[in-house]
């Protein structure tokens, strides 16, 4: 049965529950009543509280930590410093590469960024731990730090050769092009800023470790814990049924995780460690600051002849993070000549991490602003220029798109927005004190894929359980897996219970790269199909089954009831059948890994990303696409920019649940509005320290900043991208919003701002 | 935070007596005290909870004046029909401050005592040098990230911005603060840093704010508060203005005008130069914009806050023009 | 309560009235209402997002008005009626109109800011600040949502306000 054969039952409610239906979140009731327990809300016997202390210098050494006052403070159980914390073993990275060093010290003696964890205090109560931590006296030997990307000490950085993409002769073609634009585009350090802070509860029972931690990747993080402590992978249990937002930040076990687990080991009691909000800005990487130059040469009709792109992002002093800045530049438009190169620059900052659409997000800011600048130079409609240069196939790998509904997105978005009514001259639209601007941009995100597995059980009472260590951080995994199982098995969705977020369940890779829905619906579809086959097989062949006499070679299940497809013979509920044949359960594991996969490869598949399937593997190039149209109002006196309308048309292939997909899309759009207008990690260059690490000073959009957002789905089922025809949703919509807004601001004001965020002082 | 003793005062007298103890601090709404205690900036040894005292939360508005008890909640005053009608700038300054939840907690008296949002002031662990926190230790902001810092009323000791909104409207309309028997103009209650950045308010040990009184006037009746910030809400001002206007019967000549600035100075800033330049003049845009530039007399920028010098006069001008359009 | 806690000299014995029930607590004065709820009373529906009054995730009602539990000392609200998300639905499980609207409008994703949003919304409607979408946006601006559920939150508040006024 392929995706296209999936049956949709006749009634409205059944359509709602089927894959593609607008079913409300099945985890909704728990979330809206406060019943959902997030990681550090577990109540444990003997729980203690740990607080971390961070370095106040950006580079240098900790020469001494005076712990006496802290040790004797009320309620204090343990004071951890680099000298007193137990030694951990080095762990492999997320590719599975072995560690550089055999040991790992989560508390640092050598400081390479401000806020780096250097000590921890564990006490009976949270208040006691916080108070005692403030009593530590730390001495440093400070050395000069490289404070940000533009620090003169940083140099040009390290070339990342594997990011180089070239075809044709881009420099020569540019030089020969009659129309040319060239500009530099910058994005600052940004933060994921999930509402739930990072943190965990760690508990040892003998050699077994249980961790309650918000996690996008239970299996990967469990591997890390196992390696740190030199215990078998099976001894680690990671529990994460509810996660208060991740956006890429919660996929790895980091220093604070190690400290909590070590403290628990040393103390013999469970330890809860939660990073306070400022520590959430320094303890793990947000999006690296980036710089790009984009150079486009075109003929007078607007056809691109050459794109030359150079990019650089900051990384840490001893870690390597590459934000693939040429990722959209190389595929969005057709061009006969192309060159993209990228460097990274070492900066005294925490190693940057993944924030929603790493690479694609800043890359799109560059190319989608540049193409608009080209349109202005040509005196042409920016939509027209994009259509003229439409890439009919992937220009980088020269493969056809698996599906690309981008023209459809342009058309649908433009129509709904009213783009045709745009007067193209800058500063040509206004309303009282407000200059009005209409801008557009395209976005894309690759379809990342992986092999997955899931367990589906049919129980004696007719209910169904789906089990996986994959997670729901708000993307709707609980719901779409319930829909998939319900539809495949033919049972009402209320009979399906989905169990996620426990590493003792069936294996799962990272919920990242917008791949989880495709992986897991495929795995559940397979497992449910197998369970269904077994159920029907049992019904047809077991001597105790009432269907034994029926002359049928198959049966159908609808609304939880089994019958012959012709409608003759008995009709039983699943529970009645299970009872009749004396079965407690049917259990099936759907697994898309080849049968020849060894246990080592299987472990590697789930605990590293080394076996991810490239989006350009085989005959196709697989991506999600979108077109954003935004209206901004800029106060001509104040320079404040407000987004007043957004229409986005998006191609995420087949939507497993449009209601939830729309929420994801809108979430990405809103995050993009924050990126364009508000968000910036501001570094005090004297100390290499972020000074706005809190929610009053790091500006997230509020409800008052966000207008009505219209999203239009233009996707069609893409059988090359996933078993059920969907493509990535979660990271698509943020890509292209910032350039659309920058383009709209230019249209409103005539001022081209190429440094994010577009704040008022850049416009007055 | 360090632990402290907690006492409830049932009367103002009890509060006065208790607050004379060393290390004693009054707790009304808690939105400043608890926040700063968590930052390690406030380290009281005794917290005196005055939020249960009766009789100090009344809102009494007549044509002559508004008399508002110090324990009245910001939200209640903002939504009060009489305040909205006779002192719209006061209501607008209140509802544009903070968030609905904070306005339900915070009191009028406590709001006057609100401290600066300077990130260096708020972070003693990373920035020990702060003349407000430790007199004589230096200023960590000067030479640092100064986008939000003041351009008016600064000194070499301190450039921290006064972040509040209500006090801007109060200063524009010559409001008076009641400290028991002692009365003081709100404008004089706030102190510029000078060489004593640690002294922000003219309040003596044992004194408790009991009420504010705002004199009624035609200008107060025709007033507004415009607050400009990066995001639409839940943020302190990049620049703000409380403005009141009274026109002659010809509907064009300015009889009385009040202007005070927020978000740009170390204390609520009455812009008398603008008022004097516009009294008796015609309400026209060119004249108004030119006069508003006078608001920035004496302004000193520290780099990233330079934009405030351009922005603040425009906010004042917008407020005047808005009032001129509507009766 | 953890039996191994050493009570400090400043420990208070207080009674908090939460969702109509009385809770006895021995706590230090510095304990916030938020930490009392989450760490000592197993009422973890109220969330900690920032602990400094900057995100709204900890919104609860005190005497029917929405406030932030992270900036409220537990001792301060002895004698007041505290309502948390756990106390919003009826005893028989019937959801409050706001809760039901949130579910229908998909006004949440990860769910972490959600209890605060709902408590804030209930009060917003009661305050009379839900008269238009614009007013809802402004009066709900004190509740941050990083997942970006804002447009659906507005729709839910609009829907619930209409239902509650009928």
Do residues A282 and A252 make contact, with C-beta atoms less than 8 angstroms apart? no
pLDDT of residue C4: 41
Give CA separation, B117 vs A759, B90, B123, B237, B296, in Å. Answer: 19, 22, 10, 11, 22
Q: At which of C39, C55, C87 does a domain end? A: C87
If you measure CA to CA, which chain C residue comes closest to A47? C2
Cα B128 to Cα A587: distance, rounded to the nearest angstrom:
63
- Summarised one tens digit per residue, pLDDT across range B91-149 is 999 999 999 999 999 999 999 999 999 999 999 999 999 999 999 999 999 999 999 99
Q: Which one of C4, C44, C89 has the shortest CB-CB distance to A41?
A: C44
**What is the per-residue pLDDT for A48?**
98
pLDDT tens-digit profile of A185-194? 999 999 999 9
Under an 8 A CB cutoff, do B228 and A640 touch? yes
Q: Do B100 and C30 touch (CB under 8 A)?
A: no
C26 min Cα distance to partner chain A (Å): 13
* Tens digits of residue pLDDT in A433-470: 999 999 999 999 999 999 999 999 999 999 999 999 99
Inside any domain, residue C155: yes
User: What's residue C7's pLDDT?
Assistant: 53
Could you say which of A131, A691, A704 has the minimum Cβ distance to residue B3?
A131
User: Chain B contacts of A759, Cβ < 8 Å?
Assistant: 230
Q: Provide the number of structural domains found in chain C.
A: 2
In this structure, what CATH number is given to the domain that contains residue C144?
1.10.150.120
Residues 6+ apart with CB under 8 A from A12: none
**B145 backbone dihedrals φ, ψ, rounded to 5°:** -85, 110
Query: Which of B5, B38, B52 has its CB closest to that of C29?
Result: B5
Residue C44 lies in a domain: yes
How many cross-chain Cβ pairs, B to C, lie less than 8 Å apart?
Answer: 90
Active site residue A207: no
Tokens representing A688? 């290499």
The residue among B102, B139, B143, B145 with the most chain A CBs within 10 A of its CB, best to mutate, is B145
What pLDDT digit, counting tens, does each position of C50-97 carry? Answer: 999 999 999 999 999 999 999 999 999 999 999 999 999 999 999 999
Q: Helices C97-104 and C114-127 meet at what angle, rounded to 10?
A: 120
Say if B250 falls within a structural domain: yes
Interface of C with B (CB under 8 A): 8, 10, 12, 28-30, 32, 51-53, 56, 59, 65-68, 70-73, 75-76, 79, 120, 123-124, 127, 129, 137-144
Optimal mutation site among C6, C49, C71, interface B, most CBs of chain B within 10 A: C71
**Domain match, C102 and C81 both:** no
Torsion of CA A659, A509, A262, C48, to 10 degrees: -10
Q: Identify any residues that bridge with A79 across adjacent strands, giving them in sequence order.
A: A121
Q: What is residue B327's predicted lDDT score, i.e. its pLDDT?
A: 55
- Return the number of other C-beta atoms located less than 10 Å from residue B251's C-beta: 9
pLDDT given for residue A13 in this prediction: 57
Can you list the residues of chain B whose pLDDT is less than 50? none
Question: B1 and A687 in contact by Cβ < 8 A?
Answer: no
Residue C2 lies in a domain: no
Indicate whether C146 and C111 sit together in one domain: yes
Chain A residue numbers touching C124 (CB-CB < 8 A) = none
User: How many domains would you assign to chain B?
Assistant: 2
Task: Give a yes or no: residue B252 inside a domain.
Answer: yes
Cα of A660 to nearest chain C Cα, Å: 7
């925490």: which residue's tokens?
Answer: A350
Give the pLDDT confidence of A575-625 residue by residue, as tens digits: 999 999 999 999 999 998 999 999 999 999 999 999 999 999 999 999 999
- Please report which confidence band the pLDDT of residue C3 belongs to, taking 50, 70 and 90 as the band edges: very low
Q: Cβ contact (<8 Å) for C146 and A194?
A: yes
Within this chain, do residues C44 and C67 fall inside the same structural domain, yes or no? yes
Rg (CA), chain A: 27
* Position A12 confidence tier, pLDDT thresholds 50, 70, 90: low
Whole-structure pTM over 0.95, yes or no?
Answer: yes
Residue C16 and residue C57 in one domain:
yes
| Residues of chain C contacting A197 with CB distance shorter than 8 Å | 48-49
Three-class secondary structure of residue B201 per DSSP: strand
Tokens of A516: 């989880």
Cβ separation B126–A56 shorter than 8 A:
yes
B172 found inside a domain: no
Sign of the C-alpha dihedral computed for residues C149, C150, C151 and C156 taken in this order: positive
Examine the domain organization and report whether C28 and C83 are in the same domain: yes
Residues of chain B in contact with residue C10, where contact means CB-CB under 8 angstroms, are 3-6
Task: With respect to residue B310, please indicate whether it lies within any of the assigned structural domains.
Answer: yes
Q: What is the CATH number of the domain that holds B35?
A: 3.30.43
Residues C118 and C151 in one domain: yes
Is A3 a residue whose pLDDT tops 60? no
Tell me if A277 and C85 make a contact (CB, 8 A cut-off).
Answer: no
Q: Are residues C72 and C116 in the same domain?
A: no
In chain C, helix, strand, coil percent, each to 5? 40, 15, 45
C104 and C160 share one domain? yes
ipTM reported for the complex, 2 dp: 0.97
Range of the domain at C47: 12-87
**pLDDT tens track for A662-696:** 999 999 999 999 999 999 999 999 999 999 999 99
Among candidate residues B49, B66, B83, the one where a domain is terminated: B49
Please report, for the domain that includes residue B252, its CATH number: 3.30.390.50
Express each pLDDT in A695-750 by its tens digit.
Answer: 999 999 999 999 999 999 999 999 999 999 999 999 999 999 999 999 999 999 99
Contact of A632 with A441, CB cutoff 8 Å: no
A323, A571, A731, A761: which one is catalytic?
A731
- Whether C133 and C77 share a structural domain: no
- Which chain B residues are closer than 8 Å to A633 by Cβ? none
Q: Put the strands of the sheet holding A571-573 in their side by side order.
A: A556-558, A561-563, A571-573
Note the pLDDT of residue A9: 35
Q: How confident is the model at residue A5 (pLDDT cuts 50, 70, 90)?
A: very low
What gap in Å lies between CA A407 and CA A392, rounded to an integer? Answer: 10
Cis preceding linkage at A170, omega within 30:
no
C-beta pairs of C131-135 under 8 Å, 24+ apart in sequence: C133/A708, C133/C158
C147, C153, C156, best to mutate vs chain A, most A CBs in 10 Å = C147
H helical segments located in A597-732: 599-607, 658-677
Instruction: Judge whether B95 lies within some domain.
Output: no
Q: Which candidate from C95, C112, C133 shows the least CB-CB separation from A195? A: C112
Among C68, C87, C106, where does a domain finish?
C87
CATH, residue C27: 3.10.20.30
Looking at the structure, tell me whether residues C109 and C154 fall in a common domain.
yes
Contacts of A189 in chain B (CB under 8 A): none
DSSP string, A528-593: HHHHHHHHHHHHHH-TT-GGGGS--S--EEETTEEE-TTS-S-EEEHHHHHHHHT-SEEEEEEE-S
Position A531 scores a pLDDT of: 97
Asked if A764 and B310 come within 8 Å (Cβ–Cβ), the reply is yes
The candidate with the shortest Cα–Cα distance to A726, out of A646, A630, A624, A631, is A624
Q: What is the distance in angstroms between the Cα of A386 and the nearest Cα belonging to chain C?
A: 29
Closest chain C C-alpha to B126 CA, distance in angstroms: 18
Same domain, residue pair C32 and C82: yes
Name the residue among A338, A353, A355, A321 with its Cα closest to residue A157: A321
Residue numbers of the domain that contains B229: 218-325
Instruction: Indicate yes or no: CB of C123 within 8 angstroms of CB of B6.
Output: no
* Residue among B125, B234, B314 whose CB faces A702 most closely: B234
Assess if residue B243 is contained within a domain. yes
State pLDDT tens for residues B67-95: 999 999 999 999 999 999 999 999 999 99
Nearest to A447 by CA among A612, A605, A322, A332: A612
Looking at the partner chain, which of B125, B145, B229 has a beta carbon nearest the beta carbon of A56? B125
List chains adjacent to chain C, taking adjacency as at least 3 C-beta pairs closer than 8 Å.
A, B
Residue C104: pLDDT over 80:
yes
Please tell me the distance from the alpha carbon of residue B251 to that of residue B323, in angstroms, as a whole number. Answer: 12
Res. A8 pLDDT band, cuts 50 70 90: very low
Check if the beta carbon of residue A518 is closer than 8 Å to that of residue A445. Answer: no
The fraction of chain A above a pLDDT of 90, given in percent, is: 96
pLDDT at C1 over 50: no
Q: Give contacts of B315 with chain A, Cβ < 8 Å.
A: 637-638
Q: Which residues of B touch A (CB under 8 A)?
A: 1-3, 40, 117, 119-120, 123, 125-126, 143-145, 147, 228-236, 238, 306-307, 310-311, 314-315, 317-318
Separation between Cα atoms, residue B133 and residue B121, nearest integer Å: 7
């Amino acid at each position: 049965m392929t995706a296209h054969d999936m049956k949709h039952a006749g009634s409205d409610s059944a359509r709602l529950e089927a894959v593609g239906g607008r079913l409300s979140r099945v985890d909704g009731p728990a979330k809206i009543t406060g019943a959902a327990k997030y990681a550090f809300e577990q109540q444990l016997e003997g729980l203690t509280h740990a607080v971390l202390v961070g370095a106040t210098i950006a580079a240098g050494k900790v020469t001494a930590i005076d712990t006496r006052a802290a040790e004797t403070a009320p309620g204090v159980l343990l004071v951890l410093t680099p000298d007193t914390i137990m030694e951990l073993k080095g762990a492999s990275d997320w590719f599975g590469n072995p560690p550089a060093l055999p040991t790992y010290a989560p508390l640092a003696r050598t400081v390479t960024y401000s806020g780096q964890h250097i000590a921890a205090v564990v006490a009976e109560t949270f208040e006691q731990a916080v108070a005692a931590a403030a009593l530590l006296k730390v001495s440093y030997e400070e050395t000069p730090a490289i404070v940000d990307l533009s620090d003169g000490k940083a140099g040009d950085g390290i070339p990342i050769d594997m990011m180089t993409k070239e075809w044709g002769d881009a420099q020569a073609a540019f030089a020969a092009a009659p129309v040319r634009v060239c500009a530099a585009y910058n994005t600052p350090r940004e933060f994921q800023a999930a509402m739930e802070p990072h943190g965990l509860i760690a508990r040892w029972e003998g050699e077994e470790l249980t961790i309650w931690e918000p996690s996008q990747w239970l299996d990967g993080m469990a591997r890390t814990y196992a390696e740190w402590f030199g215990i078998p992978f099976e001894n680690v249990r990671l529990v994460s049924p509810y996660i208060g937002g991740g956006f890429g930040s919660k996929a790895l076990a980091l220093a604070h995780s190690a400290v909590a687990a070590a403290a628990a080991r040393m103390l013999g009691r469970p330890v809860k460690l939660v990073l306070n909000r400022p520590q959430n800005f320094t303890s793990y990487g947000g999006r690296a600051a980036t710089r790009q130059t984009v150079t486009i040469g075109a003929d007078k009709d607007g056809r691109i002849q050459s794109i030359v792109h150079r990019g650089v992002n900051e990384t840490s002093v001893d870690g390597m993070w590459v934000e693939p800045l040429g990722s959209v530049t190389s595929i969005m438009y057709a061009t006969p000549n192309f060159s993209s190169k990228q460097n990274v620059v070492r900066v005294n900052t925490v190693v940057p991490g993944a924030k929603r659409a790493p690479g694609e997000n800043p890359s799109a800011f560059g190319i989608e602003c540049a193409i608009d600048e080209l349109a202005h130079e040509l005196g042409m409609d920016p939509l027209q220029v994009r259509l003229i240069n439409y890439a009919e196939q992937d220009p980088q790998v020269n493969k056809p798109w698996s599906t690309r509904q981008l023209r459809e997105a342009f058309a649908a978005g433009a129509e709904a927005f009213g783009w045709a009514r745009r007067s193209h001259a800058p500063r040509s639209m206004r309303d009282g004190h407000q200059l009005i601007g209409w801008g557009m941009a395209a976005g894309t995100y690759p379809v990342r894929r992986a092999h997955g597995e899931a367990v589906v059980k049919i129980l004696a009472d007719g209910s169904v359980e789906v089990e996986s260590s994959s997670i729901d951080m708000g993307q709707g995994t609980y719901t779409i897996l319930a829909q998939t199982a319900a539809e495949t098995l033919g049972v009402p969705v209320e009979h399906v219970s989905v169990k996620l977020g426990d590493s003792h369940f069936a294996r799962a890779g990272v919920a990242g790269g917008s791949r989880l829905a495709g992986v897991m619906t495929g795995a559940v579809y397979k497992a449910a199909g197998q369970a269904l086959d077994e159920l029907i097989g049992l019904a047809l062949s077991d001597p105790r089954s009432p269907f034994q006499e029926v002359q049928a070679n198959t049966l159908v299940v609808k609304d939880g009831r089994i019958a012959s497809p012709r409608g003759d013979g008995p009709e039983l509920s699943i529970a009645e059948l299970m009872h009749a044949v004396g079965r407690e359960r049917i259990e099936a594991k759907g697994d898309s890994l080849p049968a020849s996969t060894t246990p080592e490869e299987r472990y590697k598949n789930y605990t590293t990303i080394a076996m991810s399937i490239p989006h350009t593997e085989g005959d196709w190039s697989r991506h999600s696409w979108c077109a954003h149209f935004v209206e901004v109002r800029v106060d001509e006196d104040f320079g404040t920019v407000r987004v007043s309308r957004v229409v986005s048309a998006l191609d995420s292939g087949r939507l497993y649940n449009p209601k939830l997909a729309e929420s994801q899309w809108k979430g990405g759009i809103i995050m993009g509005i924050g990126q364009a207008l508000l968000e910036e990690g501001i570094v005090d260059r004297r100390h290499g320290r972020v000074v706005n690490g809190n929610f009053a000073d790091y500006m997230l959009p509020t409800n008052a900043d966000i207008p009505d957002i219209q999203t239009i789905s233009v996707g069609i089922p893409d059988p090359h991208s996933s078993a059920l025809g969907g493509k990535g949703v979660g990271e698509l919509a943020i890509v292209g919003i910032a350039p659309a807004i920058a383009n709209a601001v230019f249209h409103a004001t005539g001022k081209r701002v190429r440094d994010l965020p577009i704040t008022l002082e850049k416009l007055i | 935070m360090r632990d402290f003793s907690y006492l409830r005062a049932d009367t103002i007298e009890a509060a006065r007596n208790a607050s004379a103890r060393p290390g004693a601090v009054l707790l009304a709404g808690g939105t400043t005290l608890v926040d700063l205690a968590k930052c390690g900036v406030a380290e009281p040894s005794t917290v005196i909870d005055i939020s249960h005292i009766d009789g100090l939360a009344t809102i009494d508005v007549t044509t002559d004046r508004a008399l508002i008890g110090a324990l009245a909640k910001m939200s209640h005053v903002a939504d009060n029909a009489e305040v909205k009608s006779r002192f719209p700038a006061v209501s607008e300054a209140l509802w544009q401050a903070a968030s609905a939840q904070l306005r339900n907690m915070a009191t009028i008296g406590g709001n006057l005592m609100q401290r600066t949002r300077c990130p260096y002031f708020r972070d003693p662990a990373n920035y020990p040098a702060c003349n407000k926190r430790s007199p004589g230790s230096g200023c960590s902001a000067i030479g640092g990230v100064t986008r939000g810092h003041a351009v008016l009323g600064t000194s070499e000791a301190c450039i921290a911005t006064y972040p509040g909104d209500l006090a801007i409207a109060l200063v524009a309309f010559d409001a008076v603060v009641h400290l028991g028997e002692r009365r003081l103009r709100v404008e004089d209650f706030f102190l510029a840093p000078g060489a004593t950045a640690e002294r922000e308010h003219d309040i003596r040990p044992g004194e408790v704010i009991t009420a504010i009184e705002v004199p009624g006037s035609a200008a107060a009746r025709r007033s507004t508060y415009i607050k400009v910030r990066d995001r639409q809400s839940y943020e302190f001002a990049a620049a703000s203005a409380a403005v009141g206007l009274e026109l002659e019967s010809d509907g064009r000549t300015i009889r009385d005008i009040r202007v005070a600035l927020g978000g740009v100075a170390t204390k609520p800033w009455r812009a008398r130069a603008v008022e004097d330049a516009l009294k008796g003049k015609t309400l026209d845009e060119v004249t108004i914009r030119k006069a508003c530039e006078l608001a920035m007399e004496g302004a000193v920028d520290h780099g990233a806050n330079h934009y405030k010098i351009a922005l603040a006069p425009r906010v004042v001008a917008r407020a005047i023009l808005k009032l001129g359009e509507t009766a | 309560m953890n039996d191994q806690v050493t009570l400090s000299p400043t420990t208070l014995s207080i009674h908090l009235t939460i969702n109509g029930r009385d809770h006895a607590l021995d706590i230090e004065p510095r304990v916030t209402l938020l930490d009392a709820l989450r760490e000592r009373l197993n009422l973890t529906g109220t969330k900690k997002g920032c602990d400094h009054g900057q995100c709204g995730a900890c919104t609860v009602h005190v005497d029917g008005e929405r406030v932030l539990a992270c900036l409220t000392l537990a001792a301060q609200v002895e004698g007041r009626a505290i309502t948390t998300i756990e106390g919003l639905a009826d005893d028989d499980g019937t959801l409050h109109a706001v809760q039901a609207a949130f579910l229908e409008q998909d006004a949440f994703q990860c769910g972490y800011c959600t209890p605060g949003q709902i408590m804030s919304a209930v009060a917003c409607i009661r305050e009379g600040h839900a008269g238009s979408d614009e007013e809802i946006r402004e009066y709900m601006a004190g509740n941050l949502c990083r997942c970006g559920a804002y447009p659906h939150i507005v729709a839910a508040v609009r829907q619930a306000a209409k239902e509650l006024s009928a």
